[in-house]
Amino acid sequence: MVINADCDLAHGKVDGVLALLPIFSFHSYLEAFWVKSHLLSEFSQNIEWILGACGIEKAEAEDLARWIESDNPMAIASSLIGAHAVPTKKHAELHQRVNKCAIIASSQGLEGFKRVCSLDPDPSRYARKHIEAAKGAIGDGHFFLSEISGQEGLGFVVRMRRILSIEATNCYRSVSDMRAHAPDTKTSAARVARLTPTYQHRIAQLFAYQFSRIGLPDETTELSKLAVDDIVSLMAGAQK
């Protein structure tokens, strides 16, 4: 996405380069920036549950993780049940959680997430819950577009904190124009769509906010803590 002001583009005031914000398909965004941390979190949570069910110290977490990464999950679960006083009602879940950890350890990316989803009684519900949470957590520094004309799929994420640049002479108004004139030795770009005025205004607002935030001095922000301390002292004094 070109982020230069329209007037600068019109009058050639871009110093020979265009500033770009990268756009990822939602699928690519999840693959690059979300799924790894999600699977690691799932792995850790399941390891913690297994340790608790078996009455094993948390200090053994790394050893258990390495065991799961290197051995058959069914054999591991059976060995844990045989060696520890695991309640019968937890046997099935223990097998499931060890299997889930093994899948995460042996899989990567969204394919690993898909395999984890398949373990849930309702894969669609499980997937929707976590994908919606991932979308909701995109937060500051990003902007979500539902679609881009001419591009396959739905959902695109603009990363506003990753400013790229390209020589203005290597930018073209259309893909056909780029194919006809772009040199093979240089990176080139072509316009594939234009934002509507509403989106242009919103993107400009958010981008300006990202790069013009002015923080208050530490001594100023520390004053807010004094107000909290004051109320706390009053509440503590009221308990006499």
**pLDDT score for 239:** 47
Residue 92 within a domain: yes
Separation CA 193–CA 209 (nearest Å): 24
The mean of the pLDDT values for the chain is 84
* Most distant CA pair in the chain, distance: 84
Task: Kindly state whether residue 4 falls inside one of the protein's structural domains.
Answer: no
Q: What is the extent of the structural domain holding 106?
A: 26-136
Q: How many domains does the chain have?
A: 1
Q: Which residues of the chain have pLDDT under 70?
A: 212-228, 230-240
pLDDT score for 183? 82
Residue 202 belongs to a domain? no
Is 188 in contact with 178 (CB distance < 8 Å)?
Answer: yes
- pLDDT given at position 224: 61
> Using one digit for the tens of pLDDT, what is the confidence trace for 25-72?
888 999 998 999 999 999 999 999 999 999 999 999 999 999 999 999
